[in-house]
């Protein structure tokens, strides 16, 4: 699938396992290829907080790529940071990359977080990584999300989410110490399995500031009907999940805090070649988006082809290309945030 991240100005940056696409304008359905040749099944893409660097993670092969978004260029060997097992990653600064990886020990699966200082190189010119967070019990690596000074980490086996301060993670690297999951991390929620029970999670995909909520998605369809979910930090409870199908499936989310739009990718369970469906979910505050609003475009330069895009509802919102034959507007969650859903495409 395509993975993505958002620049400070709200433009999306997408990677499809080869080409890198930058959105031409906020809310536009047109994307421009800015670089290509970055080969691998996309695991994550992360823009540094100061936008000085972008890192791509090809989870299956382990390759970690880096490039300058201000001066992008096609792949060559200088763009390969190193090869390391990982499921997800996040640049917590322009020079420090945090990755979450799983490993097997005596027939059980565990996970740990490794921090790489991209300026601290070994004799082979590769960045040196140190374990900074260890999950003592059985666990699985899944998505990471950073909001300012906080990193949200999910145990993909238990579903538990804990937050760690970025400063504590950097200090662990510099002091050659390892933070423990139970004692150093702050648990999010009293019952982390209210809905996503007995299944792997995609982890935290975003923080919705005006709703004070985390976005969570599942990463393993299993045998359940799962979906996308918000966790209300203030109330300490999960809100009703959003599902695009009654069938089990794989949900992945890209959150754009500038536009307050979730790009949701869904694939029905069963066959790995099932098509991905793409939806745009706009999380608005009460009173926002009143009146008719629509956005259209030809979808030229879109990562997966061409097609017209249409978004209809009670207000304007960006279109995820290409989209056809769709109109749906429902309320989710119940406090008035509006949900716009675009059409699926193969």
CA dihedral 49, 304, 299, 208 (to 10 degrees): -40
User: What proportion of the chain, given as a percentage, has pLDDT over 70?
Assistant: 73
Q: How far apart are the first and last CA of the chain?
A: 12
Query: pTM of the full predicted structure?
Result: 0.79
Q: Does the pLDDT of residue 295 top 80, yes or no?
A: no
Pairwise CA distance, residues 131 & 325, whole Å = 48
Pairwise CA distance, residues 28 & 12, whole Å = 10
CA angle 305/302/62 to nearest 5° reads 95
The pLDDT, as a whole number, for residue 91 is: 96
Are 132 and 173 in contact, with CB atoms under 8 Å apart?
Answer: yes
Q: Which whole number is the average pLDDT over 135-149?
A: 80
Q: Does the pLDDT of residue 127 top 80, yes or no?
A: yes
The least confident of 69-73, 227-231, 234-238, 335-339 is 335-339
- Widest distance between CA atoms in the chain: 61
Distance of CA 315 to the CA centre of its chain: 25
Pairwise CA distance, residues 65 & 326, whole Å = 36
Q: How would residue 244 be classed by pLDDT, with cut points 50, 70 and 90?
A: confident
Are 226 and 218 in contact, with CB atoms under 8 Å apart?
Answer: yes
The pLDDT, as a whole number, for residue 238 is: 75
Interior/surface letters 163-200, b for 16+ CB within 10 angstroms, e for the rest? bbebebbbebbeeeeebebeebbeebbeebeebbeebb
Q: How would residue 136 be classed by pLDDT, with cut points 50, 70 and 90?
A: low
Tokens of 258: 């500038």
Which DSSP state fits 210? G
Around 103, how many Cα atoms within 13 Å sit in the side-chain half-sphere? Answer: 14
Pairwise CA distance, residues 99 & 3, whole Å = 16
């Amino acid at each position: 699938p395509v993975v993505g991240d958002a620049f400070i100005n709200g433009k999306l940056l997408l990677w499809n396992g080869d080409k890198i696409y930058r959105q031409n304008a906020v809310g536009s359905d047109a994307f421009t290829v800015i670089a290509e040749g970055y080969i691998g099944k996309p695991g994550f893409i992360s823009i540094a907080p100061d936008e000085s660097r972008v890192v791509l993670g090809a989870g299956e092969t382990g390759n970690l790529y880096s490039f300058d978004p201000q001066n992008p260029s096609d792949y060559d060997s200088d763009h390969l940071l190193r090869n390391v097992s990982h499921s997800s990653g996040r640049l917590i600064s322009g020079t420090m990359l945090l990755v979450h990886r799983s490993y097997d020990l005596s027939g059980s699966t565990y996970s740990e977080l490794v921090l790489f200082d991209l300026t601290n190189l070994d004799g082979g010119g590769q960045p040196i990584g140190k374990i900074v967070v260890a999950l003592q019990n059985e666990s699985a690596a899944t998505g990471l999300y950073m909001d300012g000074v906080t990193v949200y980490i999910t145990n993909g086996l238990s579903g538990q989410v804990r937050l760690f301060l970025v400063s504590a993670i950097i200090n662990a690297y510099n002091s050659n110490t390892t933070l423990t999951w139970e004692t150093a991390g702050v648990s999010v929620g009293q019952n982390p399995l209210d809905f996503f029970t007995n299944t792997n999670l995609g982890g935290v995909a975003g923080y919705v500031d005006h709703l004070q909520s985390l976005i969570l998605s599942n990463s393993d369809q299993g045998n359940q009907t799962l979906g996308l979910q918000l966790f209300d930090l203030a109330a300490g409870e999960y809100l009703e999940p959003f599902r695009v199908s009654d069938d089990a499936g794989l949900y992945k989310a890209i959150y754009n805090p500038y536009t307050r739009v979730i790009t949701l990718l869904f694939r029905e369970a069963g066959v790995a070649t099932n098509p991905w469906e793409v939806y745009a979910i706009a999380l608005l505050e009460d009173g926002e988006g009143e009146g008719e609003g629509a956005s259209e475009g030809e979808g030229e330069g879109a990562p997966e082809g061409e097609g017209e895009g249409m978004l209809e509802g009670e207000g304007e919102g960006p279109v995820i290309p290409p989209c056809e034959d769709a109109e749906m507007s429902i309320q989710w969650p119940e406090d008035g945030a509006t949900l716009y859903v675009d059409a699926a495409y193969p």
